[in-house]
Amino acid sequence: MIDRDVYGPWAVIAGGSEGVGASFAEQLADAGINLVLIARKPGPLAETAERVRAKGVEVRTLELDLIDPGALKAVRSATDDLEVGLMIFNAGANTYGHEFVTGDLDRVQGVIDLNITAQLALTHHFGALMKERRRGGIMLVGSLSGYLGQPQITVYSAAKAFIRVFTEGLWLELGEHGVHVLELVLGVTRTPAMERAGLRMDLPGLNVAEPDDVAREGLAHLADGPVWIAGGNQRTAEKRSGFPRAELVRGSHEAMKRMLPPAAK
């Protein structure tokens, strides 16, 4: 059970309306931690909030696109009167189906703004407060995609690589102040976003994780930073970190093509 004295009484979950984010919300509510849920889609956000309120915790919701210029101000307006002991950044944007040089540069910028800029802004804000209180936790949800470059998700992979290295440095900076920092690295996970992308998750031998399982694993290992590889993907991450790079990148690309919908190949 996650310790409310360390990570409570409130947690903020960016991307907390569905998939892994909703699983985090339900499991934190079971531990008696109140929640601020941030998401763009009002329907799933309201549904998740209703489910977790039924567990007896307080819930605030913030319907917000985190790449909006006033996003941090909106988050602060919703949380400045709260003692936030845990911040989970689970929001993300991808570029499936588009090569970089022929893609929409504005869409690429959106991927960078959400996966890097917005994530840094929330981490900077809540991390400073946690450092001052000398307790708390920050979890940034990463991806195995950040361990090597892949076509059509070139910028997304690079953004995830950035966050992993950033997390390692932040873990060192905040660790001496009693604040736990973790990048939770996900592999293929059965989320609504994955399903909307049309990725095939029924391939023989494919390791597909469930949202509840990876959320539970992440919360259990908050103090085991800087990086935790979820869903039994440790060996895959180690392999993708090796050399020669050309062979690894080509091999991963061939495996990825089998998952992509026909239009994206």
Return the bridge partners of 185, or none.
142, 229
In angstroms, the CA 29 to CA 254 distance is: 41
Enclosing H/E stretch for 32: none
- Annotated active-site residue in 55, 160, 239, 257: 160
Q: Is 1 exposed, middle or buried (0-12, 13-18, 19+ CB in 10 A)?
A: exposed
Is 73 assigned a catalytic role? no
Contact between 213 and 170 (Cβ < 8 Å): no
- Taking the C-alpha atoms of residue 148 and residue 175, their distance in angstroms, rounded to an integer, is 28
Full strand arrangement of the beta sheet holding 84-89: 59-63, 34-39, 10-14, 84-89, 136-143, 179-186, 227-229
Question: Which residue among the candidates 156, 239, 257, 265 is catalytic per the annotation?
Answer: 156
Per-residue b or e along 118-142, where b marks 16 or more CB atoms closer than 10 Å to that residue's CB: bbbbbbebbbebbbeeebbbbbbbb
**265 included as an active-site residue:** no
- Please state the separation of Cα 113 from the chain's center in Å: 14
Which residues participate in catalysis according to the annotation?
Answer: 156, 160
